[in-house]
Structure 1
């Protein structure tokens, strides 16, 4: 390295090799930013399928078409195989279900409620919960099912479903 004499006009900066005047580079290196964005994209792609709201159930299969999405977050009532009832993700005793649904119904615009019942649960229990939902102020009950189930003629369909 060569040692140079500093003059008043140098501003105390380092001397460059070759003595050429180089312009300041005003470009931003975007490679690290792109790397971070790609990592975030991968994280969200992996995490997104795990972000389903609700209680894990074994839903019955059907060949019905999917219901169109709504503006308001849908109210979901889940009936598990052991008879446990959950409103959204909160477990509610069956004795308090009607009162809880009445309180929720007073705050909502829509009278729609989605019922997710485990495929192995007795029909009578599903009907009891549907009656409680109706008594709680929800007259539009939508049964949620998995896709790919048999049609009435015995054929299988791979389309998403939710029945009115």
Structure 2
């Protein structure tokens, strides 16, 4: 099995914590050797995903949490954003996750839009699991030449 480090963070579902996660992804991506432009893309994409979770997941609750997971591989960074506070069961998430397709109704995932189009444009691969709330799994490859795409933006890299 492929070796990787996994970093998991939980933050209150409040807008003021988005910057904390942006700093974290910036630090991790910088250490991995991502370019300045790629780090900026990662920060925007993760901000969109977290802001959505903050705005939509906890309209009723004051004490909601957002869980963010970073899978640090040799060739890529995988970022998971979940709008519930539980820990990630990685196998369960990967089993239940499917590709994000531009044809999907954004409203079917979450009322009020999602910023998914922007996330999809900034990241190399975007997948969605909506079994337990919404989990967005975003992948950015270190070396863009390693990314092989078929027509629906799903990486064919093993």
User: Which has more radius of gyration?
Assistant: 1
Q: Which TM-score tier does this pair reach, normalised by the shorter chain? A: under 0.3
The structure richer in strand per residue is 2
Instruction: Calculate the TM-score normalised by the size of structure 1.
Output: 0.23
The structure richer in helix per residue is 2
